[in-house]
């Protein structure tokens, strides 16, 4: 394996989990985050005080800093793990000549709201990078289980087989299995959509719907994902594989899913603002619901579940009424 210098941008739970994975195969990791106190703490005590506190890091291979330009200058591969709502605020000021030879990897699972764009496409446009220098990390993998070293699976997608393989090798270890794909658009849009459907699942749980209805909801959700990604970029893909269906299932059902938790609170009567304040974490599906709705105006794909979530979150239609309407549509 080549001795790549890898940068990780973001200080949350998924970024922490990715740094842990990389620690098995990388000789030098540059970890950027905005919070100066968090940086000082990690450099002193070698674990993240805010997320996955049980994960300990080796100080010899980890350099944590708030200096974004320094990180971008030295890294060969840059893994973006910033919440989608803040990506443009961080990367929007970066100069193109600083990064034009770098490989960018999106591990965001969200949409850049200012542009209604998946991160891979945003990076492509923002830095004029070919898709051969861009990869996407997807799959059913919660940060909390990575911290516990429970066996998990990731799919690395890129238009360059070499880039996908290099990134996959960096992340692979005893408890992380990887596969590669060339479906950047399908895997990243699927990773975005599953958050919207996890919110729908949470809303239904909060309203008191049972497992029988949840099964129907999720089987319809994977059909919506297939229709949408085929409409965006038609190609041969198997939506029953782990990068699509697997990611949807774990996000819709897991106790660790913040999107399901957010939806559950909405179903129980919380306002969007009060749910966000109580969670103190980003539910990517909230932003994705609006962006997917806006993107779909162009394609007019039949997406009743995603539309119902948009109506509840942004048009303030009662979850009780919206889910009653939806229940008459699902099959």
Catalytic residue numbers, as ranges: 194
What is the number of other CB atoms lying within 10 angstroms of the CB of residue 279?
14
What is the number of other CB atoms lying within 10 angstroms of the CB of residue 155?
27
Cα–Cα separations (whole angstroms), residue 148 to 133, 250, 321: 32, 16, 40
Lay out the sheet containing 176-181: strands in order across. 62-65, 29-32, 6-9, 77-80, 103-106, 134-138, 152-158, 176-181
Which DSSP symbol is given to 149?
A: T
Burial degree of 95 (CB within 10 A; 0-12, 13-18, 19+): exposed
Question: Checking phi first, is residue 283 left (phi over 0); if not, alpha (psi -120 to 50) or beta?
Answer: beta
Q: Which two tokens stand for residue 26?
A: 């990388």
Q: Which two tokens stand for residue 57?
A: 């890091």
Q: Which two tokens stand for residue 247?
A: 């990611």
Selection from 327, 175, 315, 305 nearest residue 252 by Cα: 305
Task: Tell me which H or E stretch contains 243.
Answer: none
């Amino acid at each position: 394996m080549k001795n790549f210098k890898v940068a990780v941008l973001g200080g949350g739970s998924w970024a922490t989990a990715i740094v842990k994975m990389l620690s098995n195969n990388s000789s030098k990791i540059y970890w950027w985050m905005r919070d100066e106190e968090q940086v000082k703490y990690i450099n002193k005590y070698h674990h993240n005080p805010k997320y996955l506190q049980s994960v300990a890091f080796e100080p010899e291979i980890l350099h944590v800093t708030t200096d974004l330009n320094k990180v971008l200058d030295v890294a060969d591969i840059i893994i973006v793990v910033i919440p989608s709502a803040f990506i443009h605020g961080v990367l929007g000021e970066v100069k193109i000549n600083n990064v034009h030879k770098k490989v960018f990897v999106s591990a965001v699972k969200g949409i850049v709201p200012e542009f209604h764009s998946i991160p891979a496409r945003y990076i492509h446009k923002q830095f004029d990078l070919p898709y051969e220098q861009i990869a996407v990390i997807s799959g059913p993998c919660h940060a909390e289980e990575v911290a516990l070293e429970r066996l998990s699976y990731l799919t690395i997608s890129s238009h360059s087989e070499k880039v996908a393989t290099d990134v996959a090798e960096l992340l692979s270890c005893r408890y992380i299995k990887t596969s590669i794909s060339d479906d950047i658009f399908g895997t990243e849009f699927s990773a975005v959509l599953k958050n919207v459907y996890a919110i729908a699942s949470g809303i239904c749980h909060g309203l008191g719907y049972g497992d029988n209805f949840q099964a129907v909801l999720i089987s319809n959700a994977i059909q919506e994902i297939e229709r949408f990604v085929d409409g965006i970029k038609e190609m041969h893909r198997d939506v029953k594989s782990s990068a699509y269906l697997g990611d949807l299932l774990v996000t819709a059902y897991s106790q660790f899913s913040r999107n399901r938790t957010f939806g559950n609170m909405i179903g129980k009567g919380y306002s969007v603002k009060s749910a966000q304040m109580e969670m103190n974490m980003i539910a990517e599906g909230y932003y994705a619901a609006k962006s997917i709705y806006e993107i779909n105006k162009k394609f007019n794909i039949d997406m009743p579940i995603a539309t119902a979530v948009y109506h509840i979150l942004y048009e303030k239609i009662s979850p009780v009424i919206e889910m009653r309407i939806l229940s008459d549509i699902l099959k």
